[in-house]
Chain A
Amino acid sequence: NAGVTQTPKFQVLKTGQSMTLQCAQDMNHEYMSWYRQDPGMGLRLIHYSVGAGITDQGEVPNGYNVSRSTTEDFPLRLLSAAPSQTSVYFCASRTGIKNTEAFFGQGTRLTVV
């Protein structure tokens, strides 16, 4: 099993550019989420989804969009990249909402110049 797959692993963007970070899981998990990791701030929840067609905002949603058209995929879109969005992004999936462990992808290191 591949688990949770994120692409790309590294990306450099210019300010104002848009892009999509891809996340796919092959475990038939209902719950998927995106986090960003910055030094000293831990992992902050951007958006999450409790199932196909359902998404909601996390702690830091501004500047990001998501969609969940299938159970497997949960892409994260940066609409107009800003230097403040330089971070490491992790996608995670869980079997369900309560009392289930998170499986993380390998991460995407994004630099906005």
Chain B
Amino acid sequence: GQQVMQIPQYQHVQEGEDFTTYCNSSTTLSNIQWYKQRPGGHPVFLIQLVKSGEVKKQKRLTFQFGEAKKNSSLHITATQTTDVGTYFCAGITSGTYKYIFGTGTRLKVLA
């Protein structure tokens, strides 16, 4: 079945450093979505990418969708303490109705 892995599982950074999490799917995806979950909270939608090679930016966050539509990345420039949380990617394979989430990357930012 479809599997979505994320690396790294954990990342500790000093405030102001950059951070990147990578998402890899075993199958080609129709789209990729990214979510953020604050400690003790629920996942909240950040963005969706649909096209091969697509790049989108949200302030300090840059999202990429791979050319083969099997991988994606989220890059945060100059992290802040408000970036703390777990970041999940999620995608759906064409012909299925199952949104599969990645294993998540937990980010800690040290002030």
Binding site for B on A (CB under 8 A): 31, 33, 35, 40-45, 48, 50, 56, 58-59, 90, 92, 94, 97-99, 101-107
The answer to whether A59 touches B100 (Cβ under 8 A) is yes
CB-CB under 8 A from B43, the residues of chain A are 43, 90, 92, 102, 104
Give bound CA distance, A72 to B92, whole Å: 23
The answer to whether B99 touches A106 (Cβ under 8 A) is no
The answer to whether A40 touches B103 (Cβ under 8 A) is yes
Q: Could you count the A-B residue pairs with CB atoms below 8 Å apart for me: how many are there?
A: 61
Our pick among A44, A99, A105 for the contact of B101 (Cβ within 8 Å) is A44
The answer to whether A98 touches B30 (Cβ under 8 A) is yes
The answer to whether B98 touches A45 (Cβ under 8 A) is yes
The answer to whether B102 touches A45 (Cβ under 8 A) is no
The answer to whether A107 touches B100 (Cβ under 8 A) is no
Our pick among A35, A41, A50, A104 for the contact of B44 (Cβ within 8 Å) is A104
Q: Is B42 part of the contact surface with A, judged by Cβ < 8 Å?
A: yes
Our pick among A44, A59, A101, A107 for the contact of B48 (Cβ within 8 Å) is A101
With A42-B104, A59-B100 given, is the CB distance from A102 to B90 under 8 Å? yes
Beyond A35-B101, A103-B45, list 5 extra A-B contacts (CB 8 Å). Answer: A43-B43, A48-B98, A48-B99, A90-B42, A102-B45
Our pick among A42, A48, A97, A104 for the contact of B42 (Cβ within 8 Å) is A104
Give bound CA distance, A43 to B105, whole Å: 12
Our pick among A41, A45, A99, A103 for the contact of B31 (Cβ within 8 Å) is A99
CB proximity of A50 to chain B, nearest CB, Å: 6
Q: Is B73 part of the contact surface with A, judged by Cβ < 8 Å?
A: no
The answer to whether B101 touches A98 (Cβ under 8 A) is no
The answer to whether A42 touches B102 (Cβ under 8 A) is yes
CB proximity of A10 to chain B, nearest CB, Å: 13
CB-CB under 8 A from A33, the residues of chain B are 99
Q: Is B1 part of the contact surface with A, judged by Cβ < 8 Å?
A: yes
Q: Is B35 part of the contact surface with A, judged by Cβ < 8 Å?
A: yes
Q: Which residue of B lies closest to A54 (CB)?
A: B97
